[in-house]
Amino acid sequence: MKIVNMAADRTALFKASIKTVRTRNKALGVGKDSSKSTLLSHAQKMKDDFAIKAKEVVITISKLKDFLLEHRKQYINAASHLVNDSCHMSDAERDQIDSDAQDFMRTCSDTIRLFKTEAHRQNVPSQVRQHREVVFELIDAYLKGVCKLYSEQRAIRVKRVVDKKRISRLRQDGPSSKSKQSVSNNGDDQVKNNPPLDLHLTSQEEEDEELSPEEIRMFQQENQRLFNDMNCLVDEVRQIEGKVVEIAQLQEIFTDKVLQQSADIDRIGDTVVHTTENITAANQDIREAIKNNAGMRLWILFFLVVCSFSLLFLDWYS
């Protein structure tokens, strides 16, 4: 009975010790959760790195979009330099924006390409890989949208510059015709204001004021020449507008081709990596085959030697 009581007392003490250890571990945060977090820490770190880099790329593209939208009004306004405004933009500043935006878009495209290459080299499950492919497609679509926005702004700017040049040329041609009209009006006013001194003198002046056929023919030729010049200017403006639209379309196609080439380069890089891995595996298989063939040849030679000695022994024994 005493032995049984002592065993029961030890069991209670053991249970109390276990409870104490569990309470201490729970207070210190040591247990199943910590081991689970240790097992998933590597995968969580890879996921966090990918999300951080993708977010950085999207933020960079968003900065370019916000910059273009912020300066859109001053950029496309071809007559902003005529207004006394401290916020106007010069042609040099517009050219600088064009250069910076193009460099920025090329940098974003290169960053996305390198990001894709780095992500494809990581060993991740198929579901995670599909998720990353969708993320890359969304980033590419976002970059294409920003490139299209820039192309439209640039096309509008070029078109307005062409219109401004056309208007300036028309204004230069306008003063000459206005001066001729003012001269004729001044002559009429002088005739009206001067009192007729003599009837014979007035009739003589009227005869002098009549245009001769040669002068009429010269004026008609001048009018025809001006009309032809205006038609030529209109045709040139229409041709320039068509070329501006074609340039905008070609620039959009060029942007799409650049992004497509980036995707092709990434695919070729992945193919090269897989090909290198296959070549390495093939070399290992070839080495193993050579080793197996060498062992087989050794066994054949050993078998032939044993057979030869056996035949010699049998011949000697007989």
Decide if 130 is inside a domain.
Answer: yes
Task: Classify residue 147 as exposed, middle or buried by CB count within 10 Å of its CB (0-12, 13-18, 19+).
Answer: buried
Backbone φ and ψ for 288, nearest 5 degrees, come out as -65, -40
Instruction: Give the pLDDT of residue 203.
Output: 45
Which residues of the chain, if any, have pLDDT below 70?
1-9, 28-47, 78-87, 170-211
Dihedral sign (CA 295, 296, 302, 306): positive
CATH of the domain at 161: 1.20.58
Give domain status of residue 21, yes or no: no
Structural domain count, the chain: 1
Render pLDDT for 19-38 as a digit per residue (tens, 0 to 9): 777 777 777 665 544 444 54
**pLDDT value for 125:** 83
Question: Contact, 165 vs 80, CB < 8 A?
Answer: no
Residue 208's pLDDT is 45
What is the value of pTM for the model shown? 0.45
Q: Which domain covers residue 121, as residue numbers?
A: 49-81+88-168+233-266
User: Does any domain span residue 64?
Assistant: yes
**Is 316 part of a structural domain of the chain?**
no
pLDDT per position as a tens digit, 79-111: 554 444 445 778 888 888 888 888 888 888 888
User: Does 142 map to a domain?
Assistant: yes
Cβ atoms of residues 259 and 144 within 8 Å = yes
Q: What is the pLDDT of residue 291?
A: 80
Residue 132 in any domain: the answer is yes
